Amino acid sequence: MSNDQDKILEEVTGSDYKYGFVTDIENDAIAKGLSEDTVRLISEKKKEPEWLLEYRLNAYRHWLTMEQKEWAHLDIPEIDFQNIIYYSAPKPKKELASMDEVDPDLRETFEKLGIPLDEQKLLSGVAVDAVMDSVSVKTTFKQNLAELGIIFCSFSEAVQEYPDLVKKYLGSVVPSRDNYYAALNSAVFSDGSFCYIPKGVRCPMELSTYFRINAANTGQFERTLIVADEGSYVSYLEGCTAPQRDENQLHAAIVEIYVHKDAEVKYSTVQNWYPGDKEGKGGIYNFVTKRGMLHGDNSKLSWTQVETGSAITWKYPSCILKGNNSTAEFYSVAVTNNYQQADTGTKMIHIGKNTKSTIVSKGISAGKSNNSYRGLVKVAKGAENARNFSQCDSMLLGDKCGAHTYPYLEVDNPTAIVEHEATTSKIGEDQIFYCNQRGIETEDAIGLIVNGYAKEVLNQLPMEFAVEAQKLLQISLEGSVG
């Protein structure tokens, strides 16, 4: 491609991460390091019941016996788990009058991130649980939702208020020994969101969790648990950002979704953790286990993700299609630029009869990044008439990046139809010229073309998110065509 475009590339790839600020606030943090005592301390700080401490300790003891697997197409520097702070809570400057009151500094932080915590200022259709470092800061619209019997609160609050529900579902989808980072999370998770939609209730607004890492040297280990009871519906959004720092920070979360008979859950993520600078310094290690159990017949779960942030992303939002006629979808756009690495995809485990899954993955690699799709489609023996269709496309911008596709199809039933298709392409010089000739600048042309390429996925996002995501895509890729 031409020199001019190379120049634009040089100029703009280092475009600023606009969420990179730090909130100057005092923290109630525990000392660095990880041991049984750390686990006990976290549990104690959260005034947890005995059974939960046991759960954590079991996970911790098992974690000690585990090794990190190396099958992912990632170059992960060794992580010193003793050099991480496992609990850090922003300390309010003054005693707050009620649980619903928010420290002004925190309020300001979230406002800067575009997440006002005043219900009046919020978009009317979205309830937010705002999480900073290890604790939930505020959950909005709790009252309105409670009227419908919907529980939407921080995980810590759920442990205190609804222990039976938490006990019943915690670890039911992602067992504490599932994998290295799931075990770690199960031992040291601090806070997160809990959501329960009762039988037959259609949640009238989007529920949303916004995760913010603020404190330095801190790992964020949050936990989200969503339970959709029979015949219910909820659409859930997740967003995340972190300050710009030279050192890497670890984020190892778990999201569990339990979908009962005839229920439907849509889970959308716009992941924009700090990706590191253009030299590849700093950024978040995003090692996340997300899984949904489609337990009941006719249940439905849809994952949509727009992944633009993090230095390293390792995540495979998955679905276990246990109920008959259950339907699962995975839509993903993953963008990597500069030195980012992403190994992401999904697992679709077909167990029930007449189950159906769809995978649409669009990878975009730029700079010196590596972007891999890795997905498993498994059709178990009894899964009569299982259907899967996967479409995995990669787009390369520049010749210093990599795009990889690793699908695994395991079919154990003769009535299954499983199809996988993948393509790799680049933005054509002729496409850009065509746009240029119509007066559209190269930057905008790339934005247009990339958004067109990712449209199938972006269309799955709720309106407010879709616009945000489109902008994000363009910002993440600014000038990256060479």
Partner 1 sequence: MLSIKNLKANINGKEILKGINLEVKAGEVHAIMGPNGSGKSTLASVLAGREIFEVTDGHVEYMGEDLLELSVEERASKGIFLGFQYPVEIPGVSMVNFMKAAVNAQRKHRGEEPINASEFLKLMREKKDIVELDSKLTGRSVNEGFSGGEKKRNEIFQMAMLEPKLSILDETDSGLDIDALRIVANGVTKLKNKDNATVVITHYQRLLDYIVPDFVHVLYKGKIIKSGTKELALELEEKGYDWLIKDL
Partner 2 sequence: MSTTTEIEKKYIDFYIDHKAILDQQSSDIVNKHRTQAIENFKFLGLPTSNDERYKYTNLSKVFDQNFDMRVGEQIVDLNVESIFKCDVIRLDAYLALLAKGQYVTKERVVSHDESIIVCSLKEAAKKYSQLFEKYYNQLAPQREDGVIELNTALAFDGVFIYVPKGKVVDKPIQIVNLQVDGKENNAIQLRHLIVLEDRAEAKLIFCDDSLTSNEHLSSAVAEVFVGENAHLEMSKMQNEHNESRNISNTIVRQSAHSVVTSNTVSLLGGVIRNNLHIEMDGEYCEANAYGIALIDKAQKVDTFTYIHHAHPNCNSNQLYKNIIDDEAVGVFSGTVLVDKNAQKTNAFQANNNIILTDKAKMNTKPQLVIYADDVKCSHGATVGQLDENAMFYMRARGIEEKDAKMLLMYAFADDVIRKMSITSLRENTEDLVRRRLSGELSLCRNCSSRILMNSTL
Structure tokens at 235: 């659409």
Q: Which residue has the tokens 């859950």?
A: 265
* CB neighbourhood size of 31 (10 A): 10
CA dihedral (166, 169, 174, 175) in degrees, to 10, reads 90
Closest CA to 143 of 99, 209, 92, 190: 99
| Number of residues near partner 1 (by CB under 8 A) | 24
**Measured distance CA(326)–CA(388) in Å, rounded:** 12
- Give 319 or 364: the residue with its C-beta nearer to partner 1: 364
Each residue 381-400 as x (binds partner 2 by CB under 8 A) or -, in order, gives: x------------x-xxxxx
List, as one string, the DSSP characters of 279-308: TS-SEEEEEEEEEEEE-STT-EEEEEEEE-
Structure tokens at 285: 């290690």
With binding defined as CB under 8 A, does residue 170 bind partner 1?
no
With binding defined as CB under 8 A, does residue 47 bind partner 2?
no
The region of 96-104, 204-212, 284-292, 436-444 touching partner 1 under the rule CB under 8 A is 436-444
**Binding partner of residue 456 among partner 2, partner 1, none, CB under 5 to 8 Å per kind?**
partner 1
Q: Is 280 exposed, middle or buried (0-12, 13-18, 19+ CB in 10 A)?
A: middle
**Measured distance CA(304)–CA(329) in Å, rounded:** 8
CB of 473 to partner 1, least distance (A): 12
312, 341 in Cβ contact below 8 A? yes
Q: Which residue has the tokens 């300050």?
A: 243
What is the separation of C-alpha 84 from the centre of its chain, rounded to a whole number of angstroms? 21
Work out whether strand 192-197 and strand 151-154 pair parallel, antiparallel, or are unpaired: antiparallel
Closest CA to 273 of 295, 301, 243, 234: 243
With binding defined as CB under 8 A, does residue 403 bind partner 2?
yes
Among 161, 421, 444, 467, binds partner 1 (CB under 8 A): 444
**Binding partner of residue 419 among partner 2, partner 1, none, CB under 5 to 8 Å per kind?**
partner 2
C-alpha neighbours within 13 Å on the C-beta side of residue 401? 31
Q: Is 411 exposed, middle or buried (0-12, 13-18, 19+ CB in 10 A)?
A: middle
**Measured distance CA(301)–CA(326) in Å, rounded:** 8
With binding defined as CB under 8 A, does residue 440 bind partner 1?
yes
With binding defined as CB under 8 A, does residue 433 bind partner 1?
yes
Work out whether strand 341-344 and strand 312-315 pair parallel, antiparallel, or are unpaired: parallel
| Number of residues near partner 2 (by CB under 8 A) | 36
Which 55-114 positions form the footprint of partner 1 (CB under 8 A)? Answer: none
473, 450 in Cβ contact below 8 A? yes
With binding defined as CB under 8 A, does residue 23 bind partner 1?
no
Among 43, 338, 442, 480, binds partner 1 (CB under 8 A): 442
**Binding partner of residue 448 among partner 1, partner 2, none, CB under 5 to 8 Å per kind?**
partner 1
- Give 228 or 445: the residue with its C-beta nearer to partner 2: 445
- Give 413 or 451: the residue with its C-beta nearer to partner 1: 451
With binding defined as CB under 8 A, does residue 358 bind partner 2?
no
CB of 389 to partner 2, least distance (A): 10
Among 128, 333, 435, 477, binds partner 1 (CB under 8 A): 435
Which 405-444 positions form the footprint of partner 2 (CB under 8 A)? Answer: 405-426
With binding defined as CB under 8 A, does residue 35 bind partner 1?
no
Each residue 59-98 as x (binds partner 2 by CB under 8 A) or -, in order, gives: ------------x-x-------------------------
With binding defined as CB under 8 A, does residue 116 bind partner 2?
no
- Give 281 or 426: the residue with its C-beta nearer to partner 2: 426
Interacting residues toward partner 1 by CB under 8 A:
2, 4, 428, 430-431, 433-442, 444, 448-449, 451-456
Positions that interact with partner 2 (CB under 8 A): 71, 73, 379, 381, 394, 396-426
